[in-house]
Amino acid sequence: MALSAEQSGRLARLLTEQADRLTERWTELVTASLRGRLSRAELAGQARELHRSIIDAGENGLTELADEHGGELRAVLAELSAGRARQGFSATETAISVYALKDALLELMEESQGTETLRDFVAFSALIDQMGLFTFESYVRTRESLIADQAEQLLELSTPVVKLWEGVVAVPLVGTLDSARAQVVMERLLQALVDTGSPYAIIDITGVPAVDTQVAQHILKTVVAARLMGAECIISGIRPQIAQTIVALGIEFGDIATKASLADALRHVLRLSGVETAVRRPRRES
Amino acid sequence: MERVPILKIGDILLVSIQVDMSDQTAMQLQEDLAERIVATGCHGVIIDITALDIVDSFVGRMLSTIASISKVLDAETVVVGMRPAVAITLVELGLSLSGIRTALNVERGMELIAAARADEWDEADGDEDAETTATA
């Protein structure tokens, strides 16, 4: 049930007349629900701000939260719920901050015995419901953007390309390799090949917990793309169980060199590029 | 019509493709290159595709054809400077450009051709040695 312009005017009047009592009661209810995790002063500030914008919206003849007069009120609500989401409050705790207004309002309206009181209260609480839902939506949006940011950071963190030797780069893969990560790894590696002019790349899969056909497919694609650009890839760090899985699944690595450890792969590459390594007898302390 | 320039550096012909390839341009390039290989007696062809944003099956086929023509005229072909994005697209399309050698940049391409020539000479020397020992 939507609010009529007349009713929203009455709501604004009521809120203005009983301003102090209402915000006081409202703050009290919210403080109780959050069990002291936010200071009373801070909550009172938020309640006053929200109170102010409801009055403004009401005086402008707000009927629906979504219409043009609700702009400022929506902004205040969005800010409130974004703040709560970042501070780690649950969705219920966030929504209660708005719904507490309903209780506070009911206590006030029980005192006045007008004929329209019930009708008004139902309309007001419809508005408060809308506000609560809006708060919930903003809360979810903030949380989702937080998660997306973190996933992106994780992606950035987990795919370094390191230079092992002149003309040799390595990618130590850590964690599960899904399509998105495989794509990032591929792009990073190929770009590193171009930037450093390295003709050899080692893909180390020691940190990959499991290799299935899809992961193998991603690795193969990377190797083929590197070959197209004129660089050779070596796969290293294949653990015993993974070797067994690869064979059991019938994955063919074809003519791609695979080595058990990164050290073996580096030695292989150095031999290919004509670098000689020699063991020098350790000098004795005399 | 646009023409792709062919530069001679020592024993190598350098082709740098900087325009979008059309049928006409591709045909012209194949003709020009064959003539130049014969005229200069070069034994290596480097095709630089650094400037190409898109390599489709048409360009892929053109590269294969050029490599085959050069092979017949005893010249080694190396495609250099493929961009990461191009390589990824080719892999996604399933085009592997089989039979074409690739290198990261022109310098590496020249090294590759030099190495390939050296191998050939070694083989030829080995054959001669075998013959001389046989006759002796």
Burial A49-84, CB ≥16 within 10 A → b, else e: ebbbbbbebbbbbbbebeeebbeebbebbbebbbbb
Tell me: do A71 and A169 sit in the same domain: no
Tell me: do A124 and A174 sit in the same domain: no
B82-132: pLDDT as tens digits: 999 999 888 888 887 877 899 999 999 999 999 888 888 888 776 655 555
pLDDT for B49 equals 92
Strand partners, B15: B6, B47
pLDDT for A49 equals 86
Task: Tell me whether residue A281 is in a domain.
Answer: no
Q: Which amino acid is at A271?
A: R
B3: left (phi over 0), alpha (psi -120 to 50) or beta: beta
Tell me: do A123 and A86 sit in the same domain: yes
Spatial separation of the C-alpha atoms in residues B80 and A186, rounded to whole Å: 19
Q: Which amino acid is at B26?
A: A
CA-based nearest residue to A203, from A233, A176, A163: A233
Cβ distance A240 to A271 under 8 Å? no
Spatial separation of the C-alpha atoms in residues A103 and A25, rounded to whole Å: 9
Mean pLDDT, chain A, rounded, equals 84
Tell me: do A21 and A62 sit in the same domain: yes
**Cβ-nearest to A224 among B78, B91, B101:** B91
Spatial separation of the C-alpha atoms in residues A47 and A53, rounded to whole Å: 10
DSSP type of residue A283:
P
pLDDT at B136 over 50: no
pLDDT for B132 equals 52
Tell me: do A12 and A147 sit in the same domain: yes
- What total of structural domains would you count in chain A? 2
Beta-carbon separation of A230 and B102 below 8 A: yes
Q: Which amino acid is at A163?
A: K
Which domains are assigned to chain B? 6-135 (3.30.750.24)
Task: Tell me whether residue A286 is in a domain.
Answer: no
A130-145: pLDDT as tens digits: 888 888 899 999 889 9
Strand partners, A234: A202, A257
**Cβ-nearest to B104 among A187, A193, A224:** A193
pLDDT at A1 over 60: no
Tell me: do A132 and A31 sit in the same domain: yes
Q: Output the CA–CA distances (angstroms, integers) from residue A172 to A158, A226, B17, in the order listed.
A: 9, 16, 35
Note the helical H segments in chain A: 5-17, 19-34, 40-59, 71-87, 91-111, 117-157, 179-196, 213-228, 240-249, 262-272
Beta-carbon separation of A229 and B97 below 8 A: no
Of A153, A183, A212, which residue sits at a domain end? Answer: A153
pLDDT for B110 equals 92
pTM, 2 dp:
0.63
Tokens of residue A285, six digits: 């302390």
Q: How much of chain A exceeds pLDDT 90, in percent?
A: 14
> If you average pLDDT over residues A45-70, what whole number do you get?
81
pLDDT at B8 over 50: yes
ipTM (interface predicted TM): 0.75
Of A128, A153, A178, which residue sits at a domain end? Answer: A153
Beta-carbon separation of B84 and A198 below 8 A: no
Q: Structural domain of residue A203, as residue ranges?
A: 162-272
Tell me: do A131 and A23 sit in the same domain: yes
Residue of B63, B83, B90, B91 to mutate for A, most A C-beta atoms under 10 A:
B91
| Domain CATH number, residue A46 | 1.10.490.130
> If you average pLDDT over residues A24-44, what whole number do you get?
82
pLDDT for B15 equals 93
Tell me: do A15 and A139 sit in the same domain: yes
Tell me: do A137 and A198 sit in the same domain: no
Q: How much of chain A exceeds pLDDT 70, in percent?
A: 97
**Cβ-nearest to B84 among A190, A197, A198:** A190
> If you average pLDDT over residues A18-42, what whole number do you get?
82
pLDDT at A235 over 90: yes
Q: Does A229 touch chain B (CB under 8 A)?
A: yes
The continuous run of DSSP H or E covering B16 comes out as strand B12-16
pLDDT at B80 over 70: yes
Tell me: do A137 and A173 sit in the same domain: no
Return the minimum-mean-pLDDT range out of A60-74, A162-176, A250-264, B61-75: A60-74
Mean pLDDT, chain B, rounded, equals 86
Q: Tell me which chain B residues have a C-beta less than 8 angstroms from the C-beta of A228.
A: 82, 86-87, 90-91, 96-97, 102
Q: How much of chain B exceeds pLDDT 70, in percent?
A: 91
Tell me: do A13 and A137 sit in the same domain: yes
pLDDT for A23 equals 83
Tell me: do A107 and A192 sit in the same domain: no
The helix, strand and coil proportions of chain B, stated in percent and rounded to the nearest 5, come to: 55, 15, 30
Q: Output the CA–CA distances (angstroms, integers) from residue B32 to B7, B36, B119, B122, in the order listed.
A: 11, 6, 28, 31
Q: Which amino acid is at A9?
A: G
Of A122, A153, A184, which residue sits at a domain end? Answer: A153
pLDDT at B45 over 90: yes
